[in-house]
Amino acid sequence: MTEDTQPNQPADYTPPKVWTWDKESGGRFANINRPIAGPTSEKVLPIGKHPLQLHSLATPNGLKVTIMLEELLALGHEGAEYDAYTINIGEGEQFSSGFIEINPNSKIPALMDRSTPEPTRVFESGAILLYLAEKFGALIPTDPSKRAECYSWLFWQMGSAPYLGGGFGHFYRYAPMRIEYAIDRFTMEVKRQLDVLDRHLADNEYMAKDEYSIADIAIWPWYGSLVSNGVYEAAEFIDAQSYTNVQRWTAMIGEREPVKRGSRVNKVWGPEEEQLRERHDASDLD
């Protein structure tokens, strides 16, 4: 728990007939939360020299894409060369006009593919993973049954992680007060999700059976980070050690060189030597 958290507050709130935005909600992200979409500033995004232009940040959703790009490069797909620019979501850069042109939903990651006849925008991390996997014919199984398994776990992640991040992570780590009901509700769900993964990984090396794929790349930054105490400082609270198969898989994926490289891109916190605000060449990571 953070020092700025307070004891439980009594449930004395009666919602008005119509909700209005008349005060900050409090908590870690209060300054960027808004009930409306659209730009708050004018900015043209920079364009680098490579076919793929990524605008992102090294959060779990951002890591999915940088890990994917580093995996593709390691497989020899030169067309996956990319420029990565940082979008500082704490400063509201996701609401600039230029970013909104590539993601009207104002969330990182967002990708611009400039190798197509007209530049192609892709937003939503799951869509970006699928787009890249199909573009390069890589990291997605060709066997129909394994491919279906890969789709299933990819979409499982997209549906499940908001309970982990927006639910559990928010109320356990970031909310301005401790609400036992909210923490109980989301801890229950996240532990259930971990058990789903643990049972699957007891019989399967990777998410799509014996093939490393975009399903692993989508799930690892969230659930791997959670059980290795990389997000929310909650490993002890959720008894992460008990999910032994998730731990095995987390360690195995974490050992991959492209995963290590991708995890450093767009990182603007932590030890100085681990940070990399922008990435324009392979040598930036060497």
Ligand X SMILES: N[C@@H](CCC(=O)N[C@@H](CS)C(=O)NCC(=O)O)C(=O)O
The site that binds ligand X (CB under 6 A) totals a number of residues, namely: 12
- Of 58 and 208, CB closest to ligand X: 58
Counting contacts by CB under 6 A, is residue 157 touching ligand X? no
Among 66, 94, 96, 213, binds ligand X (CB under 6 A): 94
Among 106, 213, 225, 266, binds ligand X (CB under 6 A): 106
Distance CA 185, CA 183 (A): 6
Interacting span for ligand X (CB under 6 A) from 3-11, 100-108, 167-175, 232-240 = 100-108
Question: Minimal distance in Å, beta carbon 103 to ligand X?
Answer: 8
Maximum pairwise Cα distance, the chain: 59
Counting contacts by CB under 6 A, is residue 61 touching ligand X? yes
Strand partners, 52: 82, 113
Cα distances (angstroms) measured from residue 275 to each of 91, 155, 225, 263: 18, 30, 18, 10
Distance CA 40, CA 19 (A): 22
Residue with tokens 């190798």: 115
Cα distances (angstroms) measured from residue 181 to each of 85, 88, 127, 163, 207: 39, 32, 33, 14, 32
Compose the 246-275 pattern: x for residues touching ligand X by CB under 6 A, - for all others: ------------------------------
Distance CA 114, CA 52 (A): 6
Counting contacts by CB under 6 A, is residue 107 touching ligand X? yes
Counting contacts by CB under 6 A, is residue 66 touching ligand X? no
- Of 42 and 78, CB closest to ligand X: 42
Residues of this chain that bind ligand X (CB under 6 A):
32, 59, 61, 89, 94, 106-109, 124-126
